[in-house]
Amino acid sequence: MTRRVVVTIAAMLGMFLAAMDQTAVGTAMPSITGALGGLALYSWVFAAYQLAFVVMTPIFGRLADLYGRKRIYLTGILWFIGASVLCGLSRSMGELVVFRLLQGIGGGAVLPIALVIIADLYPVEQRLRIQGIFSGVWGLAAIIGPLLGGFLADHASWRWIFFLNLPAGLVATAIIMITFTDPAARHAGRIDYAGIGLLAGAAAVLMLLLLWGGQAIPWWSPAAAGLAAVFAALVVLFIRVEQRTPQPFLPFSLFADRVIAVGSAGGFLLGASMFSAVVYIPLFVQGVIGTSATTAGIALMPFMLCWTFGSIAGGRLALRWGYRPVTTAGMILLAAGFARLARLEPQALVQDVFASMAVLGVGMGLTATIFMISMQNAVPRTMRGIATSINIFSRNIGSAIGVSLQGAVLVGVLAARMRTLGGAPGAGLPRITDPQMALDAAVQAHLTRAGHEAFRQALAQGLHATFVLGLGAVLLGLALVVLYMPGGSVLDLAPAEGMAAGGAGDGEAG
């Protein structure tokens, strides 16, 4: 086994830990709140991690370009391990939220830098062929994580979800330290601290607005308007600073490359459409069709498995045909999948949902993989960290905006339909503030049979609206790819420096 293979395994292990931690915590949350209390902070256990992850991803990506992959990756994974131990030692929900915030900082380094390390180890031809394996890491984490979280919560302790990161993380750390030698990084000049601070502040304010909007604060309120104004001001300041700084944190010249521009905007639209579908499909299966929570979770498996298949096939097809035909095909499949979802009736079968999710999974594999690798391949090695991070950052911001927008539409449609369908006395219909109320046993217990059916019909129509919004985002992405993604072969679109630096030599030397 070569050093390159060993380093690849270590990078994948770090990615797997960061991915599985999120899914495992979700199933263990009832046990965690039972032990620690603090139900009011329930959502912040997830939100704190996501907030820190999104803010730190582009920062660590750029620092990896300036100071080397190894140093930043090791810093990130050791930070992640330490924060995981603190999470496991939490004595209150408030402590857990703070430690999850710290854990998200480490995760913001582990994921993007692992992908950058792989991009450095392999030339683009090999990277396109093996990318499906890395998509499979997410699929495997999505399957194993909930099972492991539930098992540990029921038969051991929820704290082991975090403690298990320690031995696995230390193994990945040791392998990277021993076997991976990073080529010397060029970091002459000053770090753009002003740019970093302004971007981090803007991302944090936006995430808080999306997390609080419609929940803690109404969307049309002075508080929401104030957060939006602060976000806009920070973005304007960031743009002005980056335009005047000799060595900017985020060189806007990157976006002059159509591959970078399309990959960034396309990643945003993928996040806005796909990840919101992943959130709301289980709600449709359980709340509308009326299946169990287990079946609702299984409904996501075709998506994950077909995402892996699509990634493998997409990489090979891109080598033969180029980026544009493959991403166009992927967007068409995504549009077809959302069109199927938008046509689902309340009487739909679970098999209909499975088929739609399989189509979406293949489309996601063809597009997400190619967007990532095309951006990595469009820049020289010294810019690969920030290019990778931009892709991840834009997808996560798109996801946060998509989930918030579609959630607001869902609640609005649901509440309006409930007023129309549930006006009869004695229906027992509640005031809708959260679509997850459809799965609340306490709410269900107070519904009459007529009220329950009205609730189900209204929920189906609200979810139909969210799927239509997802379809709209995908159609925008399709137009973007067709009109602006450059044609030509993969090798034609790669700078000479990027290809030379991505070869096997780096990996074998280190």
> Treating both helix axes as pointing N-terminal to C-terminal, what angle do 323-342 and 301-321 enclose, rounded to 10 degrees?
150
332 shares a domain with 471 = yes
User: In the predicted model, what is the mean pLDDT of residues 17-41?
Assistant: 75
318 shares a domain with 351 = yes
Q: What pLDDT was estimated at residue 87? A: 92
278 shares a domain with 242 = no
Q: What confidence tens digit (pLDDT) does each residue in 151-171 have?
A: 787 778 888 888 888 888 899
Q: What pLDDT was estimated at residue 427? A: 47
The most confident of the ranges 102-106, 436-440, 443-447 is 102-106
- Whether 232 shows a pLDDT value over 50: the answer reads yes
Q: What confidence tens digit (pLDDT) does each residue in 443-494 have?
A: 556 666 776 777 778 888 888 888 999 999 999 999 999 999 998 778 777 7
Structural domain includes residue 239 = yes
State the burial class of residue 41 (Cβ atoms within 10 Å of its Cβ: 0-12, 13-18, 19+).
Answer: middle
**44/451: higher pLDDT:** 44
Q: Contact 78/231 with Cβ under 8 angstroms?
A: no
Q: What pLDDT was estimated at residue 483? A: 94
CA nearest 289: which of 384, 215, 353, 210?
353
264 shares a domain with 388 = yes
Structural domain includes residue 487 = yes
Q: What pLDDT was estimated at residue 425? A: 43
pTM for this prediction? 0.84
Percent of all residues in the chain with a pLDDT value above 70, rounded to a whole number: 86
- Whether 101 shows a pLDDT value over 50: the answer reads yes
User: In the predicted model, what is the mean pLDDT of residues 66-81?
Assistant: 90
301 shares a domain with 168 = no
**330/491: higher pLDDT:** 330
Give 228's pLDDT tier (boundaries 50, 70, 90). very high
Q: What pLDDT was estimated at residue 145? A: 76
Token couple for 464: 């139909």
Structural domain includes residue 505 = no
- Whether 290 shows a pLDDT value over 50: the answer reads yes
**508/385: higher pLDDT:** 385
Q: Residue 464 belongs to a domain with what CATH number?
A: 1.20.1250.20
297 shares a domain with 433 = yes
- Whether 184 shows a pLDDT value over 70: the answer reads no
Q: What pLDDT was estimated at residue 347? A: 83
261: Cβ contacts below 8 Å, ≥ 6 apart: 255, 484
The most confident of the ranges 101-110, 143-152, 187-196 is 101-110
Q: What confidence tens digit (pLDDT) does each residue in 402-437 have?
A: 888 887 888 788 777 766 655 444 444 555 555 555
177 shares a domain with 72 = yes
What is the DSSP track for 122-185?
S-HHHHHHHHHHHHHHHHHHHHHHHHHHHHHHHHS-TTHHHHTHHHHHHHHHHHHHHH--PPPP
120 shares a domain with 149 = yes
Q: How far apart are CA 251 and CA 148, in angstroms?
A: 42
Q: What pLDDT was estimated at residue 240? A: 92
**451/326: higher pLDDT:** 326
286 shares a domain with 225 = no
Q: How far apart are CA 317 and CA 323, in angstroms?
A: 9
- Whether 288 shows a pLDDT value over 50: the answer reads yes
Dihedrals phi, psi of 217, to nearest 5 degrees? -135, 140
Structural domain includes residue 251 = no
134 shares a domain with 10 = yes
Q: Contact 75/43 with Cβ under 8 angstroms?
A: no
Three-state DSSP state, 218: coil
109: Cβ contacts below 8 Å, ≥ 6 apart: 56, 60, 72, 73, 75, 76, 77, 79, 80
Q: How far apart are CA 227 and CA 6, in angstroms?
A: 46
User: In the predicted model, what is the mean pLDDT of residues 31-50?
Assistant: 77
Structural domain includes residue 17 = yes
Structural domain includes residue 509 = no
Q: What pLDDT was estimated at residue 141? A: 76
Dihedrals phi, psi of 213, to nearest 5 degrees? -60, 130
| Domain housing 50 | 1-189
Percent of all residues in the chain with a pLDDT value above 90, rounded to a whole number: 22
Structural domain includes residue 67 = yes
State how far Cα 83 lies from the chain centre: 20
User: In the predicted model, what is the mean pLDDT of residues 306-334?
Assistant: 90
Q: Contact 223/446 with Cβ under 8 angstroms?
A: no
Three-state DSSP state, 448: coil
Give 510's pLDDT tier (boundaries 50, 70, 90). very low
- Whether 50 shows a pLDDT value over 70: the answer reads yes
426 shares a domain with 408 = yes
Q: Which amino acid, residue 479? A: A
Q: What pLDDT was estimated at residue 504? A: 37
> Residue for token digits 């169990």?
292
Q: What pLDDT was estimated at residue 334? A: 96
**487/362: higher pLDDT:** 362
Average pLDDT across the chain, whole number: 82
Burial of 177-197, coded b for 16+ CB within 10 Å and e otherwise, reads eebbebeebeeeeeebebbbb
- Whether 499 shows a pLDDT value over 50: the answer reads no
Structural domain includes residue 252 = no
User: Domain total for the chain?
Assistant: 3
466 shares a domain with 355 = yes
